[in-house]
Amino acid sequence: MPYTAVDLFSGCGGLSKGVVNAGFEVVAAVEFDKYAAQAYDSNHGTTRMYNQDIRGIDTNEIRESLNGRQLHFLAGCPPCQGFSAVRRLNRSIAVEDERNNLILEYLRFIEELEPLTIMMENVPSIINYDLFGVVKDRLVELGYRLDYKIINVEDYGVPQRRKRFVMLGSRIGEIKVVDGTGEKRTVRDAIGDIESIENTADHVHRIYPRHKAKIQEMIERIPVDGGGRKDLPAEYTLECHKKEGIGFSDVYGRLKWDAVSSTITGGCLNPSKGRFLHPEEHRCITAREAALLQTFPIDYIFPASIPKTNIALMIGNALPPKFSQVQSEGVFTHLFDLGIE
């Protein structure tokens, strides 16, 4: 039988997609947001979804999903809003946010389910967060050998610049975070061959913003293949960008065909929030293009009943499946090489 896995704070299923591709059976997933859970269920029908607050879940319910089997792998991405760089405004301390404490729920599930291996993914600044230190020390007490580092997913075949923290742990032997694979993929590799928005039958590829005439004219004047708002004549500078030091320089910027994309965020369908304009077409990238840049397969389902802003948010918040797969394959090999059945 395949190795078993549980996905905590699963979102729409980016982590789980990689775990499944690596050969695991994801028996249970936990996600509080109803829309993300709906998208997850649409793509992972054999996984039992707990669409509820993780703090109210009795882990004995998860044990029932295992049907007496050992839990081989527990993975999760505890919400990171309170200690992300943007929320902290680049300060070293975390913003007070009750979601910060959900990392302790990740620990509770490990204590009570006793998985053989674990993975946690998060923003790089979590490494300086006091509760991370508490969790790390407790995991060592529980017998887990840990390895963690800050990586950039572009080193793992993801066509996107995205720095993340990843930690692996095992209570059966030494385990290491998998180093970059050396595979390089670009924006062109990810979305260069996708069908046109005019001809597509894919509703996700038709999700992109329409703009007022003034903004649309500005977008049409931004140089193709990597141009940005700073390339425009002064008369196209928006009032909100005229003050020194205000805003991010990448807003209203185009992606570059033969480079990786900027980080795909929950604002990926709003060019005022980042470099999210198509390399040559006079529009923002579509939700499908954003998902492809996150390495979701082109047939990944985002139900039409979900509001567009929520689709953008779940795509931007997801762990790229390609990166998840690489790390999960390392965990699978670790278990197999130690003779775990």
Query: What are the residue numbers of the active site?
Result: 80
Asked if residue 321 lies in contact with residue 14, where contact means CB atoms within 8 angstroms, the answer is yes
Phi, psi of 8 (to 5 degrees): -100, 145
Query: In whole angstroms, what is the distance from residue 62 CA to residue 64 CA?
Result: 5
Q: What is the largest CA-CA distance in the chain?
A: 68
Cβ burial 274-305 (10 Å sphere, 16+ → b, else e):
bbbbbbebbbbbbbbbbbbbbbbeeebbbeee
Query: In whole angstroms, what is the distance from residue 319 CA to residue 224 CA?
Result: 29
CA 271 to chain centre: 19
Asked if residue 48 lies in contact with residue 116, where contact means CB atoms within 8 angstroms, the answer is no
